[in-house]
Chains A and B, each alone.
Chain A
Amino acid sequence: MDCCSGIKIDIPKGHKKLVLAGNPNVGKSVFFNALTGMYVDVSNFPGTTVDVSHGKFQDYVVLDTPGVYGVSSFNDEERVARDVILYGDVILNVVDALHLERDLFLTLQIIDMGKPVIVALNMMDDVERNGIKIDIDKLSRLLGVPVIPTVAVKGKGLEEVKNNIKNAKVGIIDDKIKGYFKEYKDKVEHQSEALMLLEDDEATSERLNINTLGKREEIYRLRRERVDKIVESVIIKEGKGNRLRQKISSLTLNPLSGIPILILVLYLIFKVIGVWVAGDVVGVTEETIMVGYYEPFIRKIILNLFSENSFMYRLLAGEFGILTLTPTYVIGLLTPLVIAFYFFMSIMEDSGYLPRIAALVDRVLSFFGLNGRAIIPIILGFGCITMATITTRLLGTKREKIIATILLGFTIPCSAQLGVIAGMIAPLGMKYILIYAFTILIVFALTGTILNKTLPGESSELFIDLPPMRLPKLSNVLKKTWTKTVMFLKEATPLFALGALIITLLEESNIIYKIQDMFKPITESFLRLPKETANAFIMGIIRRDFGAAGLTELSLTPEQTVVALVTITLFVPCIASIIVIFKERSKKEATLIWLGSFILAFLVGGILSFLIV
């Protein structure tokens, strides 16, 4: 059976595909869990950060899709959702009853595909709380499909939905759109494909090699008019809206209150991740477990196979060994940090706070050629640049992806590095902390401004849905955290191993020492730092926090410390990040970013040293 180009899911014979579809944050995953129980597989779509969970319910294979406002190709989520929905046999459409005018657009689009549909009208408790009354029977009649009221988080209505999957029906298709289908009647196999062609979907048109007619806007308008008409006739009583939520929402958006709230939230996250996880938790996972128990254990095994002086031993279990450094780094250091970061990001996402941060900072980021959404990779960058660089995919244009990648690679210290930096700079006092922070901030702003002024093209603009503020559901947050962490580790681990391999080879071939010599004139005369600082920079090529940690072994004056820390912060991204940058961007761009960060780091370090040392 053909299912969902790009993703491999086995559909047993005689099984039908039940696809869950809905807008973002409508509680789809609660339905998914209720249908499939514990046995769930998660598959990542190649080239995206998007996952599709699948499980079984009776003789259906249940496929979850990312939340989207419509089926098309505007972003990765939509492309994935499109590929799954287009070839589903039955669609369970979860609708947020509070946002009918938004959600029914997708519902009608799926109905126009001619698929059997059942609608779960979710969050009915919110509707009641807001004093709104909806004529559910009428809604069902107008759509032509069963509509079942639910409060999924409280388990209400889930059984009815399960019992009614078999009653899913092909709904009432817009007459005018139906007329247009004639155009493609003999050309395509599925009506869903015909609809995509009618809506000018480039991917479908390319794949089937059939031209489109430029009718997208007309069809969207027809559908929008129908949605508005339906909403108008099924809302029996309009409510006032939830005053408290609206109050919280406007507090987060208004800069006077929103900025202090944002600072407080970021400070709390920093306290938990930067201090507790990066310090206490990683202390146990990296130092005690991995370095203390795991590495000696592995070394003993490898010693049975190869002698201690052999190349193979150094390759597998040496200082940068593939079986020692890579697992220690990935499991001991990165995993706890990445889990913690995704945990907070999921909370901010599910609570509806993240899009409000994006709106709040939109103006500031626009100076750097980015829109508010770029705040997501920037925040993640303080966790791990590698993780953040992958996330730049969500940005609208290539231009924005390049700017965000450069800002991340140049100026944002990752949590591992931040830990070491904080340890070195805190004892020096406020003055030096401010010099450090200010320098980095100025470089960030200048880099962003210059890139915005010089890069050709135009950046996309902010146009985002602000979902209502809601208390996030823990099980949802945990599930999201888990799938994102697994996805990241799957993507990053081979890169770390490759990085470790490269470094071992550089060392074996003595190239690393030549690089060291090359650095010496810059470090001593330009940066006014001891020549051994070069070692720290070499280490910094591998891992930024190694670089910073290398500085702790030197005896530096406070001024020299600040210069060294600024330079190492701006220095090249770690080897795993740079490999990701090579993967995400073109070779030319990635090389320029890498070389550029060398020049920038030494230039800024040199200027700072000239000013203060």
Chain B
Amino acid sequence: MTLDMAKKGQKIFIKKINDEKIKVQAIRLGIYEGAKVDCSLKIPFGPVILSNRMQEIAVGRTLARKIEIDVIKEGA
């Protein structure tokens, strides 16, 4: 599945980022293939908010469709 299908509160595993330009920038912010992050919020129809410890990142919805993920843990 892709990141736009993640739900609030889920812990996810990032499998693949299908956007070369974003891929290298994302590594610097802790989002990389193999990273485990939380989906902390979803703005309806808008960006998905990912968080890793105190770090929060907003990912636009179209970009989220290019990021392949697995859900590790369902939200509470």
Contact = CB atoms under 8 A, between A and B. Distances in A.
Interface in A61-120: 69-70, 74, 98-99, 101-102, 105-106
Given A255-B43, A363-B61, A366-B62, A224 B54 contact: no
A372 B57 contact: no
A283 interface: no
Contact of A253 (B23, B29, B49): B49
Interface in B25-42: 25-30, 32, 40-41
B62 A461 contact: yes
B57 A465 contact: yes
Interface string A338-373: 000000000000000001001110110010000110
Contact of B27 (A217, A250, A464): A217
A216 interface: yes
B54 A463 contact: no
B28 A359 contact: no
A249 B43 CA distance: 12
A254 B63 contact: no
B41 A250 contact: yes
Contact of B30 (A101, A366, A468): A101
B60 A101 contact: no
Nearest to A241: B54
B43 A359 contact: yes
Contacts of B63: 461-463
Given A362-B58, A462-B58, A105 B28 contact: yes
B27 A221 contact: yes
**Chain A CB within 10 Å, residue with most, of B23, B32, B41, B53:** B53
Given A101-B52, A462-B63, A463-B60, A217 B24 contact: yes
A372 B58 contact: yes
A99 B54 contact: yes
Contacts, number: 110
A218 to B, nearest CB: 10
B49 A99 contact: no
Nearest to A363: B46
B33 to A, nearest CB: 8
Contact of B43 (A99, A223, A363): A363
Given A254-B43, A359-B46, A101 B32 contact: no
Dominant SS at the B interface?
mixed
Given A362-B60, A363-B61, A253 B43 contact: yes
Contacts of B27: 105, 217, 220-221, 223-224
A101 B53 contact: yes
A470 to B, nearest CB: 12
Contacts of A238: 53
A468 B57 contact: no
B1 interface: no
A367 to B, nearest CB: 11
Nearest to A459: B62
B47 A362 contact: yes
Contacts of A101: 30, 52-53, 55
Contact of A255 (B28, B44, B53): B44
A463 B59 contact: yes
Given A359-B49, A363-B61, A372-B47, 12 more contacts: A69-B25, A101-B52, A101-B53, A105-B28, A224-B27, A238-B53, A255-B44, A362-B47, A362-B61, A462-B47, A463-B25, A465-B57
8 contacts: A98-B54, A99-B53, A101-B55, A105-B28, A224-B27, A250-B40, A366-B60, A462-B60
Interface of A: 69-70, 74, 98-99, 101-102, 105-106, 130, 216-217, 220-221, 223-224, 227-228, 231, 238, 241, 249-250, 253-255, 355, 358-360, 362-363, 366, 371-372, 460-466, 468
